[in-house]
Structure 1
Amino acid sequence: MNNKQLIIFDWDGTLMDTVPKIVNMVKLVADRHQLQRPSDGEIRQIIGLSLDVAIDTLFKNPAMAFELAQSYKDVYVSEDDTPALLFPHVKECLTALTAKGYTLAVATGKSRNGLNRLMAETQLSDFFKATRTACECASKPSPEMILEICDELNIAIDKAVMVGDTTMDLAMANNAKATSVGVSFGAHPVSQLKPLKPIAIIDQFEQLVDLF
């Protein structure tokens, strides 16, 4: 990995343990609108998609799509209190990777407001030289987020690595012709990640420091 310069991170399920929170929020949205609750497994499969695509995939109700998306945002503020914390040693590892000379970035299905809020709360903002969200780019697995980050930072695609916990993250990297690394502690199981051919799948965040 010595020839790489840029490490792009997904947020949910990769840097931050938000999967239980997302699962609970979707269920609260379903309850609010008296819809059948999707299963935990179904909800985990949409994590990483932009909100509009995720809502459409889960509920398949175009007439209610906007209302459901608004309810999701409202539930986040007013109803859900599921804790969401950074995975262990994230800050220390980002510090070590920066010290090694790597440029760090984020590509996430979160909204711009959501990402900015969490980066401020976790005090991670200063680590990332570029960020892209679902507000600015096509939903994963489109390669647009990676391509725009590389263009902004003037770093060649073959120098970039995408780190993520879902098939959407790894497929996005493949579509951009970038390298990928999977993580086993997020939304999608290893059995789903392996077919996307990441160069490695890590079980603990600190393994990234050794990998790079």
Structure 2
Amino acid sequence: MKYELIVFDWDGTLLDSAGAIVQAIQAACRDLDLAVPDDNRARHVIGLGLVDALRHAVPELMPDRYQAMVDRYRYHYLAGDHRLTLFSGVPQMLERLHAAGHILAVATGKSRAGLERALDHSGLRPLFQASRCADECHSKPHPQMLAELTAEFGIANESTVMIGDTSHDLLMASNAGVDSLAVTYGAHAHDHLTEYKPVACLHSVGELDLWLRDFA
């Protein structure tokens, strides 16, 4: 196989959550009487660690109010996260890759607690052998998450691929010296993703699965 280690982003790549994240950011801003970012600005920060995301989405927010913003964001996001669903075809794709012998991992902007909750709720935990989160590593696009995952399994960079729906995922892969695949059904638009020169840009989970069958 070409890619022994396949690393997935979570939100917007496996889980259909980009809209919920945008709405939670905007609702938290309203709660704190802050300027509400438009959809594009709020979507841009998906995949970053929460503090880095807030710095970009709400640049006027003072550091002493970060915790209040985080608390309100989590309040709104957690109120509906149990209703979020995986993109159609995700479980079957992951099961096939796992059965074929690929090592599967997650690199996400979620917190460890958030990812653990998502893994349990989705039922995908048995399919992943490792994960890295933004509250235990540098936030994307820093390469630490991918560097740690390749080191954990002793996998060469050329045998690793990062799959994500944002420029942060693709730039992290570039910074780590590994290939990337872009998916366009999540947070960032096709034209923005292609700027970061992924190996391929796929428009659905079905297309992604077919590409991985043929080339991974």
Q: Which moved more, 1:60-69 or 1:177-186?
A: 60-69
2:92 matched residue in structure 1:
92
Matches within 5 A, 1:161-172: 161-172=161-172
Following TM superposition, by how much is the alpha carbon of 1:12 offset from its aligned partner in structure 2, in angstroms?
0.4
- Give yes or no for contact 2:7–2:160 (8 Å, CA) kept in 1: yes
2:54 matched residue in structure 1:
55
Structure 1 alignment gaps of length 5 or more: none
CA distance in 1, matches of 2:181, 2:161: 7
2:45 matched residue in structure 1:
46
Matches within 5 A, 1:14-163: 14-60=13-59, 61=61, 62-78=63-79, 80=80, 83-163=83-163
- Give yes or no for contact 1:50–1:139 (8 Å, CA) kept in 2: yes
SS at match of 1:21: helix
CA distance in 2, matches of 1:202, 1:195: 14
Structure 2 alignment gaps of length 5 or more: none
1:3-29 deviation digits (Å, cap 9, x = unpaired): 211110000000000011001101110
CA distance in 1, matches of 2:107, 2:20: 20
- Give yes or no for contact 1:96–1:209 (8 Å, CA) kept in 2: no
Following TM superposition, by how much is the alpha carbon of 1:36 offset from its aligned partner in structure 2, in angstroms?
1.7
1:113-158 deviation digits (Å, cap 9, x = unpaired): 1100011001000111110000110000000000111111121121
Instruction: For 1:104, give the aligned amino acid.
Output: L
> What count of residue pairs does the alignment treat as equivalent?
210
**Cα pair distance change 1:76/1:196, threshold 3 Å:** same
Following TM superposition, by how much is the alpha carbon of 1:81 offset from its aligned partner in structure 2, in angstroms?
6.7
SS at match of 1:3: coil
TM-score normalised by the chain length of structure 1: 0.95
- Give yes or no for contact 2:24–2:74 (8 Å, CA) kept in 1: no
SS at match of 2:171: helix
CA distance in 2, matches of 1:136, 1:52: 13
1:10 matched residue in structure 2:
9
- Give yes or no for contact 2:166–2:188 (8 Å, CA) kept in 1: yes
SS at match of 1:88: coil
TM-score normalised by the chain length of structure 2: 0.93
Following TM superposition, by how much is the alpha carbon of 1:175 offset from its aligned partner in structure 2, in angstroms?
0.2
1:31-62 deviation digits (Å, cap 9, x = unpaired): 11111211011000000000011111111222
- Give yes or no for contact 1:97–1:209 (8 Å, CA) kept in 2: no
Following TM superposition, by how much is the alpha carbon of 1:206 offset from its aligned partner in structure 2, in angstroms?
2.5
Following TM superposition, by how much is the alpha carbon of 1:82 offset from its aligned partner in structure 2, in angstroms?
8.7
SS at match of 1:47: coil
Alignment of 1:178 with 2:178, yes or no, is yes
